[in-house]
Chain A
Amino acid sequence: MPGSLKEQTALLLGDYFQHRLGGPALPPPSPAAETLRRAASELESRERPFFRACRPLALDERREPAALLSRVAEQLEAEGGLNWGRVLALVVFAGSLAAALAEQGSREEAGRLAEVLASYLAEEKREWLEAHGGWDGFCHFFNGHGSQPTDQNSTISSAIMAAAGFGLAGLAVLLAVR
């Protein structure tokens, strides 16, 4: 992925927030952006009650939702550090706050959340990101070790087919022995 980590992060989160807030249906600018859209959507669907319950927080602290996001990010990694799952959960959380703000007409404040998150990840957590392969590492992790996002389903299907193949072969051997 070309560009500095800061640029990549800003581009990636900018695309996700725009996608999350129902902006124009543009194609994702990079494989990492496509992966983030997919993985975030899956996580948000799976944990919908929690992310819905978080939305009023943005409105309660309407004067400073960016400060709320910073405090949550700080606490999130206070125990056990970061991992890609926690990074994804934080991005989805920020997206939920941004969506709540945008619905109330505070689109600028929603954009500010993307900036705060990009700055937190690319500056404060730069070392961690670099040590884990940057956003290519994220893409790699959430796509089952390097396959393209669109290949994820076929990879899982192949894994299931392989497992089924082993099972059938074992059954055939058992029948042959008897």
Chain B
Amino acid sequence: MPGKTLRKGAQQSPAPAAQEAVMQCSSQLRKIGDICNLQQKILNVITKLFCPGT
């Protein structure tokens, strides 16, 4: 029974599922963080170019 097999598999391996969630989460956070970092770097360069005194 496919449903039964699936449920049995899920019960036996909760750790890999949790690990997968951690990997996905950290990968997405990495992307979000890198985009944010790049945007701020560009903004800082623009600010430095046009407002060198600030």
Q: Which residues of A contact B (CB under 8 A)?
A: 43, 47, 50, 54, 57, 61, 68, 71-76, 78-80, 83-90, 93, 141-142, 144-147, 151, 155-156, 158-159, 162-163
Contact: B51 with A47, CB < 8 Å? Answer: no
Count contacts between A and B, CB distance < 8 Å: 95
Contact: B50 with A86, CB < 8 Å? Answer: no
Proximity bits, B7-23, A CB within 8 Å = 1, else 0: 00000000000110111
Contact: A85 with B33, CB < 8 Å? Answer: yes
Q: Does B1 contact A (CB under 8 A)?
A: no
Return chain A residues, CB-CB under 8 Å to B30. 76, 79-80, 86, 89
Return chain A residues, CB-CB under 8 Å to B49. 159
Cβ distance B40 to chain A, nearest Cβ, rounded Å: 6
Q: CA of A159 to CA of B30 in the docked complex: distance in angstroms?
A: 29
Return chain B residues, CB-CB under 8 Å to A163. 50
Contact: A145 with B40, CB < 8 Å? Answer: no
Q: Does B38 contact A (CB under 8 A)?
A: yes
Chain B: CB-nearest residue to A43: B36
Contact: B32 with A43, CB < 8 Å? Answer: yes
**Size band of the interface chain B makes with A:** 20 to 34
Given contacts A145-B47, A146-B54, A162-B51, list 14 more A-B pairs with CB under 8 A: A50-B32, A57-B25, A72-B26, A72-B29, A76-B29, A83-B34, A86-B37, A88-B36, A89-B33, A89-B36, A141-B44, A155-B54, A156-B47, A158-B50
Identify which of A43, A80, A147 contacts B54 (C-beta below 8 A). Answer: A147
Contact: B29 with A86, CB < 8 Å? Answer: yes
Contact: B43 with A76, CB < 8 Å? Answer: no
Return chain A residues, CB-CB under 8 Å to B36. 43, 85, 88-89
Chain B: CB-nearest residue to A146: B54
Return chain A residues, CB-CB under 8 Å to B28. 50
Chain B: CB-nearest residue to A64: B18
Contact: A72 with B34, CB < 8 Å? Answer: no
Chain B: CB-nearest residue to A161: B50
